[in-house]
Amino acid sequence: MQHLSLEQKHEQFNEFFMIKHAIPLNMRLLEEEFVLPDIDDIHQHMPYVFQVASELSTIDSKALRPLRSMGEHAAELAEFLNHQSRKIDLMMSLILQQHSDHEQTFQSVQFGGGGIMVESENEWAIGGVIELKLFLKEEASAIFCFAEVIACKPVDDTYHVSLIFTCIREEDQDLLVRASLHLQAANLRKRKTLKKNQNESN
């Protein structure tokens, strides 16, 4: 990532589907001398509560995997475990949101698997290294990662800051992709229902 040109970073940023949606997030500018960790070492930089959430997610995945080979007999058990897992996810989501730093809180304009655009009252320098905490309420989860500022454009009385993910776990990137697709599907369902109601009223 460090060896890519700014143009190449923009291309990589735009490779993924982006959806307009407001995600609460924490955004902290790091020192210039900060060295990005290898992806295998990112957990060492995570707050402890994020490490716990990550471990719980891994345990859930491993617990459900053997049931897939058991066929129909395991369907009810898998459904029960999924409900239990969802309860834990919701509890962890609540705990993770309590970890949000209100002095560093922003809202996204749009996001995708390659990066996120954030609304800010202040201008951010291109190339700045950012520590990010994303709080995905719809998915009952949160993500810790690092990003780089690749654009900062004035829009009305604010700035739209584009961040490309520079150090993010593959499972977290997959989660962002799924979240964007889930939101797109939900938006399409809403439009379909609205159109149907309009046609019926006419």
- More confident of the two residues 200 and 95: 200
Mean pLDDT of the chain: 82
Full-model pTM: 0.77
Asked if 96 and 53 touch (Cβ cutoff 8 Å), the reply is yes
Q: How confident is the model at residue 179 (pLDDT cuts 50, 70, 90)?
A: confident
Spatial distance between the Cα atoms of 48 and 194, rounded to a whole number of angstroms: 44
Look at residue 65 and give its three-state secondary structure.
Answer: helix
CATH architecture of 1-31+105-202: Beta Barrel (2.40)
Report which secondary-structure segment, H or E, holds 151: strand 141-155
pLDDT of residue 152: 97
Percent of the chain's residues with pLDDT above 70: 74
CA distances for 49 relative to 37, 53, 149, 178, angstroms: 19, 6, 26, 23
All structural domains of the chain with their residue ranges: 1-31+105-202, 48-98
pLDDT of residue 127: 95
Strand partners, 110: 20, 117
Can you list the alpha helix ranges (DSSP code H) found in the chain? 6-13, 48-64, 75-98, 170-201
In tens, the pLDDT along 63-85 reads 556 655 666 666 666 666 665 66
In tens, the pLDDT along 11-49 reads 999 998 899 999 999 999 999 999 999 999 998 898 887
User: How many of the other CB atoms lie within 10 Å of CB of 180?
Assistant: 19
pLDDT of residue 80: 63
In tens, the pLDDT along 146-175 reads 999 999 999 999 999 999 999 999 988 988
